[in-house]
Structure 1
Amino acid sequence: MRQNSKKIFNKKELKPRRKGLRNNSTYAEVFFWQQVKDRQLEGRKFRRQTSIGSYVVDFYCPEEKLVVELDGDVHFNTEAVDYDKERTEFLESVGLKVIRFENQDVLSNTEYVLSKIKEYFDKQT
């Protein structure tokens, strides 16, 4: 008998939103994706624009249960800060780690950003 568990990853109804976000990525997201796609970062697989619950996250590494969010100017007002806090609390409540970077840091300080992400990797893997 199949257990009745609620699906939280990549819900079908969020597919158009995920696709729309992928097709309208920011320059920082495109640049970051070039750094991590095809297991370039210590062999870890990253997915972009993955839905988790009702949220669509920028990047997700399933192996590490790690969400990477890239924040542009739109994230720096009170309403957005509150929304991002709510998102992070939900993601952490389902056992995920969340790390955030400003777009400018991704573009101008890439090695630092990648090294901070590596700190979240489980070294047992």
Structure 2
Amino acid sequence: MIVKYNPKLKELARQLRRNATKSEVLLWQKLKTNQILGYDFHRQKPIDEYIVDFFCNKLRLAIEVDGYSHEILEVWENDVIKTRRLNELGICVLRFSDDQVFNDLENVLRTIEDYIVNYEANGNTPPSIPPF
């Protein structure tokens, strides 16, 4: 699948990679170099008009790690719009809070692995994810 993006986002994505949050760094340590069932993830990947925290093209899976600012109504509403747009592009989005990554990383990784197992069981079709 070819993932198109706004080229103006490329430099911002680089900046976000250089200034990752602690929870993003922690999760990245588990996602990089094909550590999750052999799948390749990228950090701060531009897609369409958005940048997702982590993305696996083969799985059509975006992973977002949300800090406390995502509890603000306006930010949350933007997250809903972003998720809907990514879903329209055939990309599933898994969202985790900073707290989940810091305090329950094992279950975060299990959720990602469950997605992959379902993806493979469905003939490499993204499993249905409940709406945001």
Q: TM-score, normalised by structure 1?
A: 0.90
2:7 and 2:97 map into 1 onto residues whose CA distance is: 29
Q: Deviations over 1:47-77 (max 9, x none)?
A: 0000111100000011100000000011001
Aligned residues: 119
2:87 pairs with 1:92: yes
1:69 aligned partner? 64
Counterpart of 1:8 in structure 2 is: 4
Write out the 4+ residue segments of structure 1 that deviate beyond 4 Å after TM superposition. Answer: none
Identity among equivalent positions (%) equals 34
Distance 2:38 2:9 in 1: 28
TM-score (norm 2): 0.85
Q: Give the letter aligned to residue 59 of structure 2.
A: E
What is the rounded CA distance, in whole Å, between the counterparts of 2:109 and 2:3 in structure 1?
30
CA RMSD of aligned residues (A): 1.5
Alignment of 1:96-111 (within 5 A): 96-111=91-106
Deviations 1:10-66 (A, max 9, x none): x42211100111111000000100011000011010000001111000000111000
Deviation at 1:118, TM superposition (A): 1.2
Which residue of 35, 44, 47 maps to 1:49?
44
Higher-Rg structure is: 1
| Of 19, 23, 26, the match for 1:28 | 23
Structure 2 residue runs of 5 or longer lacking an equivalent are 125-132
Q: Tell me if 1:123 matches 2:120.
A: yes
